[in-house]
Amino acid sequence: MKLVVASGKGGTGKSMMASSLAILFSENVRVVACDCDVDAPNLGLWLGITEYDSTKRISTSEKATINPDKCVECGECFEACQFGAIERTRGFTINPLLCEGCGVCQLVCPADAVELKKVMNGEIGINEKKLGFPLVSGQLYPGETGSGKIVQELRRMAEEFDHDVMIIDSAAGIGCPVIASVTGCDYAILVTEPTPSGFTDLGRILEIVNHFQIPFGIVVNKWDINPSLSKKIENWSGERLLGKIPYDRKVVDSIVNLKPVVYSDTEVTSEVLKIFEKIKNQS
C-alpha cells in the first residue's frame, strides 16, 4: 500500500502529517517512509532524524560541454539555447549553472563539438535505526536539475525494503517531483489550510490526483485560524474530509526539539489519531 501526503501549497503541515502516519502505521505493520521533497527535505526533522546511516550520491541528469578543438564557432548552439546557458567570449562556453541538459545544442551543432556528460546532481540518505523503520530521503544539490528523476530513484530504492505500507511525503505544488511522488500510489492524503491560497492550491493538486485516478481524503490543518473558511472547505470536501487539526504552538516546539508530534503533549495528537483511523479504514 502506497500512501502519498501532498499539498498544493507549502507550509500546510504535510510533513507533520506524513511523519505521524509513518510512526502510527509502524506500530502494527512494516513501514518505509520516503521524503520526496528533494528540494527541501524535512521529513527527517519531524521524525527526530538529523543523520543517516548511509548516503549515496546519484546522477539523474546531464549537462552539455563544448570541445574547443572541434568547435567551428558557427553560433548555432548559441542561437538555439532557450536557457541562455551558452556564452560567447573567445569562442563559446557553457555555463553549468544555467544548462538544463536538454541536448538541443548537441542536436544543432554541425561539427559534433557538443557532448552531454552525466553530473552528480543529488544524493539519497537512508536511516534504519532511529525509529525501527527505514526513512529514505533525497536531496537535490544546489543549482542542479532533475528533482523528479531523483524522486523516481528514491522510490526505487525504497521498494527494496520489506514493507506493507509506504508513506510518501511529497513536495508542495504540482511540479515534476510531485508528479513523480503521486504516480502509482493507492491513496492520497491532501493537506490544506484555511487561507485563500491554501484552498485554491488544494484544487490544483486535486487535478493531479484525479488525473492519476487516485482515491483521496482531505485534512484541514490549523482550522481554527479561520473558522469560516474552514467551514467552507469542510462543506466543499463533503465525505472526503478526513479531519480538522487545530493550531497549536506546541507543534512548533516539537520540531524545534526534534520530537515527533505524536509523542508530544499537544491536542493535535488526538486529532491525528482520529485521522489515522479513518485512513486505515479507507485504504
State pLDDT tens for residues 48-101. 999 999 999 999 999 999 999 999 999 999 999 999 999 998 889 999 989 999
C-alpha closest to that of 45 among 123, 122, 120, 125: 125
Per residue in 156-209, pLDDT (tens digit) is 999 999 999 999 999 999 999 999 999 999 999 999 999 999 999 999 999 999
> How far apart are alpha carbons 28 and 44 in whole angstroms?
21
283 band by pLDDT with thresholds 50, 70 and 90:
low
Cα 130 → chain centroid = 22
Domains of the chain: 2-59+121-282 (3.40.50.300), 61-119 (3.30.70.20)
> How far apart are alpha carbons 20 and 41 in whole angstroms?
16
> How far apart are alpha carbons 112 and 270 in whole angstroms?
64
Per residue in 122-153, pLDDT (tens digit) is 999 999 988 999 999 999 998 888 899 999 99
Exposure string of 63-79, with b = 16+ CB inside 10 Å and e = fewer, is bbbbeeeebeeeebbbe
Q: Give the 3-state secondary structure of the chain.
A: CEEEEEECCCCCCHHHHHHHHHHHHHCCCCEEEEECCCCCCCHHHHCCCCCCCEEEEECCEEEEEECCCCCCCCCHHHHHCCCCCEEEECEEEECCCCCCCCCHHHHHCCCCCEEEEEECCEEEEEECCCCCCCEEEEEECCCCCCHHHHHHHHHHHHCCCCCCEEEEEEEECCCHHHHHHHCCCCEEEEEECCCHHHHHHHHHHHHHHHHCCCCEEEEEECHHHCHHHHHHHHHHHHHHEEEEECCCHHHHHHHHCCCCHHHCCCCHHHHHHHHHHHHHHHC
Task: Considering only CA atoms, give the Rg of the chain.
Answer: 22
CB-CB contact of 48 with 102 (8 Å): no
pTM: 0.90
